[in-house]
Structure 1
Amino acid sequence: MTGMVLRRLNVSTPFMATFERLTKRVTRVALHCFGSGEPSVRVQSILLLRAMAVTLPPPALERIAKGVYRTFASNAKFVNADSVEHIAFMSTCVVEIFGLDHAQSYPLAFTYIRQLASLLRGALTAKSKEAFRNVYCWQYVNCLECWERVLSAHAKEESSALRPLVYPLAQVALGAARLLPSARYAPLRLRLVTLLNRLGASTGRFIPIAPLLMELLTFSELTKPPLSVKSHPPDFTLVLRLAKQDLRIPGVQDVIVESTMEALAEHLHQNAYSPAFPELAHIPTRELKKFTKTITVTRFRKAARAVIEAAERTSDWVIRKRDAVDFAPKDLAKVENFLREEKAENKAPISRLTKTLHEKAAQRVAAQQATEVTMTRNKKGSTGASDSEDDENVDDDDDDD
């Protein structure tokens, strides 16, 4: 019944223009249904809200954009296997609403990204458990990912009004990833690195994520003997923090190293067609070589050497191409077109490795999800819930690495 009413209201949207109080009441009801209704009701509610934002005069769009984002944020506080799809749908709706009018969306997006920056600054200043919890929680991470999706969708062009927000969002995400340099927060850091990789790929901006990944490989837990346990590693998409004993599980160590190599390869792939690639890849390659000398696990050395080899081959390839050109670095238009055809065909060696690593990661995630479904069916009383904010408290020993 609610879905039918919302659908009929959608048709009547143009007639609301002269009834301000009615418009506000309908907006409140639609936002409530958007946040708490059944899937079909949520779809009808966002369709109604979008129609109102497009059809009605100001400040309808501003009011609806604020409401949709705030409703998303209030529903993004906790993540488990059941809520992931709902949060992803709401995030998609935020992307849609904020893409209707970039000029009107800019001040709102700026305000909300600044709120995230203020929470991060507070954590860096106060250095208290409560301040850290304000950043290292699902709501903060989901909001960062939401804004990454907004900018990835609507800030691709230099002329976009939202384009100036790419840099501050990247700075906030980089700062959040560095806030607590602990191996226990490897899932959160990898999640933020993936976010930054997507943002860099969609906007064409260079984002220095390599130091974040190299630091993951220096944590002492990777060099400690693994524990012989039968438990499966936690799903990194459903947790932000690992328990201390989880860091000694071979499966967890595998996920950390493999995900790090995949993210680094993706980062190098994004910049593989730049004349500056040899210089960009030098430090990560050097650090990976150090890693292969200190790590005792054969499969980790093999994974690192694969990235090293692909990066070095790509560097040699770019140097040969670079030596053959007749323009200087100041010729920006020609630099922009450097290796454009090769990029379209993914000819760089690091690009081929990145594709292979993405395929392996997809297979790993699919296998883990299949295992979790089987375990959930066989386990009585399983709720499938992941860490709540109370479970993710920042302990005093988080910086013991």
Structure 2
Amino acid sequence: VCSSDLKRLESLMQKDPGFETFLQDQIKAHKLLQDDDMSDEKEESDNGIESADGTFPSAAAGRVLNISKINNWCQIVKEQHKLSVLPSLLNAYRSACHYGAESTYVNASASSPVIQNKETFCSILMFMLSEGDNLFRGFSGISSKSKVEAVLKLKGSSKWESVKPMIKSYLTSTLFLLNQSSETDILAFALTRLRASLIFFAPFPSLHRKLMEVAVHLWATGGGALSSCSFLVLHDMASLFNQDCYDKCLKKTYRAILSRSKVVDATCLEHIEFLKNSFVELCSIHLQRSIQLATISIQKLARIFQLGLQTKRKEALKKICSWEYAVCIDLWVSLVSVNKDSDLHGLLFAIIQVIIGVASLFSGQRYFPLKLKCIQWLNDLSSSSGIFIPISSLALDILDSSPSKELAKPSKCVVNLSTTLKLPKHWLKSRDFQEECVFAAVELLSGHFLQWSYHISFPELATVPVIRLKQFHDKSTVESLRRTVKRLLDQVEKNIDLVQRKREDVSFSPKDQASADAFLQIEKSGNAPFIQYYKSVMQNAANRK
């Protein structure tokens, strides 16, 4: 208080003696309030409210914990259901989750117990991860079948307030473990147990966000069981929580896939395939909301393609012939193909235009792998939607562009067109490249013909491809390739004869769409000749790989 204020107070006290009494009463009341605040803080601390570092007041603070002490606590909590012992266990669990972290040794909290050895560490970790969810459900009165709403209804109740800091401590410590540990088995087990406790994240939005981030990271960068466990957590989060959570989960996983696809080699393609399939499954939870993301993404793909088509600049073309671009197309092709019973025609036609554009943009032999992927995508879309897509001309272009004379130069390494997008120049003169081009074109044509092999218009559909196949067969001097193409030719011509004979016996007109669609549906069985031929072609392809 400044000197001028003091003078004013003194003058007021002299003029009005009652003011002095009022002032003294206010000072006493203020002191009483301060005393009450201090007593409240002490009581709150004694009631087990966790401190800033996530620990609880405990008799074991700063002590060395051994295996016998931990086993005793575990037995008391599990069998006698004593809530008073749980804070000590949670402090021990927090220390276990921080075990080995630099901060544990540099800035160790005096309230944190010390883990004696690895045996004690494993005992604490296994008990809390295995029993934590059951304990918290028991103490809070929530059944195993309860949903998020049940936890949110508890907010504000005395029962919830007693267990809330403990649940938060458990979740926080486990999230730290997920960020700290490098052992995949521990990470997978911790994720599995957190998945069981997902509903407890509802009252803690910040922890909810952290879990999503770490789950997305482990899903994208991990592998095997770790990625699977991470995805199950993400899937349940997207299903259990609100639409805002679903949208965030979808966007984060989408960005993670694209980020993972920037650098791709043959060893990680299987993992990217897993990421793609799991992302499509995630999209299928709320398909209408996923369509918004898919539409924006496909529009961006179209803009990148238009820029490359107009400028033909190296940078623009490089963006198109990249794994990031290819994986993005593959995502939406899979989404449309898997959800074939849904109305996704807007996405279907948009992605078809992009794929045909990409397939036509690159004409050189070095880009055959990308072109083959485009044809396969179109085959998948045509098969799932039942819409005819002119694929045969694209596949025949590859066949015509491949060398027709036998190349004597052997390849220094195995040519696998499925693991690359652009071939090195020295591969173009190898015998393996020549064979792979022909085999791949035949496989794609077989898949295309298979879909329409029993359609009433098959003879017209196959007329031009048959002519071009005969031309390749006549000019090729490689006997093994001639045999492969001749076998396809024979099967197509036999199928043309079959359809033509059956067409002569029909009594309906071309305008009768229902009858035309039902044409030869009985003959289209697993033992049909063309189906058997296609199976043998794909079996040979699998054997080559």
TM range, normalised to the smaller chain?
0.7 to 0.9
- Residue in structure 2 matching 1:318, options 468, 488, 499: 499
Alignment-mate amino acid for residue 520 of structure 2: L
CA–CA distance in structure 2, aligned partners of residues 331 and 288 of structure 1? 33
CA–CA distance in structure 1, aligned partners of residues 499 and 410 of structure 2? 46
Q: Does the 8 Å contact 1:184/1:247 carry over to 2?
A: yes
Q: Deviations over 1:265-323 (max 9, x none)?
A: 11111111111111100111111122223222222222222222211111111111122
Deviation at 1:38, TM superposition (A): 4.8
Deviation at 1:234, TM superposition (A): 1.9
SS of residue matched to 1:343: coil
Q: Does the 8 Å contact 1:307/1:350 carry over to 2?
A: no
Deviation at 1:186, TM superposition (A): 1.4
Deviation at 1:11, TM superposition (A): 2.0
CA–CA distance in structure 2, aligned partners of residues 40 and 167 of structure 1? 37
1:289 aligns with 2:474: no
- Quote the residue 1:214 is aligned against: 396
Moved more, 228-237 or 281-290: 228-237
- Quote the residue 2:40 is aligned against: none
Alignment-mate amino acid for residue 275 of structure 2: M
1:169 aligns with 2:351: yes
CA–CA distance in structure 1, aligned partners of residues 243 and 331 of structure 2? 24
- Residue in structure 2 matching 1:352, options 532, 535, 538: 532
- Quote the residue 1:34 is aligned against: 219
Which structure: larger Rg? Answer: 2
Structure 2: gaps of 5 or more residues: 1-185
Deviation at 1:76, TM superposition (A): 1.4
SS of residue matched to 1:325: coil
Q: Does the 8 Å contact 1:16/1:56 carry over to 2?
A: no
* TM-score, scaled relative to structure 1: 0.84
CA–CA distance in structure 1, aligned partners of residues 510 and 208 of structure 2? 56
Alignment-mate amino acid for residue 58 of structure 1: Q
Query: What aligned pairs does 1:1-400 form with structure 2 within 5 A after superposition?
Result: 1-154=186-339, 156-157=340-341, 160-219=342-401, 222-223=403-404, 226-229=407-410, 231-347=412-528, 349-365=529-545
Q: Deviations over 1:3-46 (max 9, x none)?
A: 33322332232333444443323222221222223533322221
CA–CA distance in structure 1, aligned partners of residues 413 and 232 of structure 2? 41
CA–CA distance in structure 2, aligned partners of residues 333 and 363 of structure 1? 40
Q: Does the 8 Å contact 2:192/2:233 carry over to 1?
A: yes
Q: Deviations over 1:330-379 (max 9, x none)?
A: 222222221112113352x43332222111111111xxxxxxxxxxxxxx
CA–CA distance in structure 2, aligned partners of residues 355 and 327 of structure 1? 33
CA–CA distance in structure 2, aligned partners of residues 331 and 106 of structure 1? 35
Alignment-mate amino acid for residue 363 of structure 1: N
Moved more, 166-175 or 119-128: 166-175
Moved more, 126-135 or 230-239: 230-239
Alignment-mate amino acid for residue 23 of structure 1: H
Q: Does the 8 Å contact 1:102/1:162 carry over to 2?
A: no
In structure 2, relative to structure 1, the CA distance for the partners of 1:185 and 1:230 (3 Å cut) is: closer
Q: Does the 8 Å contact 2:406/2:431 carry over to 1?
A: no
Q: Does the 8 Å contact 2:395/2:441 carry over to 1?
A: yes
CA–CA distance in structure 2, aligned partners of residues 140 and 267 of structure 1? 24
Alignment-mate amino acid for residue 305 of structure 1: K
Runs of 4+ in 1 over 4 A off after TM superposition: none
Moved more, 252-261 or 323-332: 323-332
Q: Report the count of equivalent residues.
A: 360
Alignment-mate amino acid for residue 277 of structure 1: F
Q: Does the 8 Å contact 2:366/2:424 carry over to 1?
A: yes
SS of residue matched to 1:218: helix
SS of residue matched to 1:200: helix
Deviation at 1:130, TM superposition (A): 0.7
SS of residue matched to 1:100: coil
CA–CA distance in structure 1, aligned partners of residues 479 and 222 of structure 2? 51
CA–CA distance in structure 2, aligned partners of residues 353 and 38 of structure 1? 36
Deviation at 1:225, TM superposition (A): 5.1
Alignment-mate amino acid for residue 253 of structure 1: Q
* TM-score, scaled relative to structure 2: 0.63
SS of residue matched to 2:455: coil
Deviation at 1:224, TM superposition (A): 5.0
Q: Deviations over 1:167-218 (max 9, x none)?
A: 2222211211111101111122122212222222222222211111111122
In structure 2, relative to structure 1, the CA distance for the partners of 1:164 and 1:335 (3 Å cut) is: farther
Alignment-mate amino acid for residue 493 of structure 2: E
Structure 1: gaps of 5 or more residues: 366-401
Moved more, 281-290 or 170-179: 170-179
CA–CA distance in structure 2, aligned partners of residues 114 and 346 of structure 1? 43
In structure 2, relative to structure 1, the CA distance for the partners of 1:309 and 1:49 (3 Å cut) is: same
Percent of aligned pairs sharing the same letter: 32
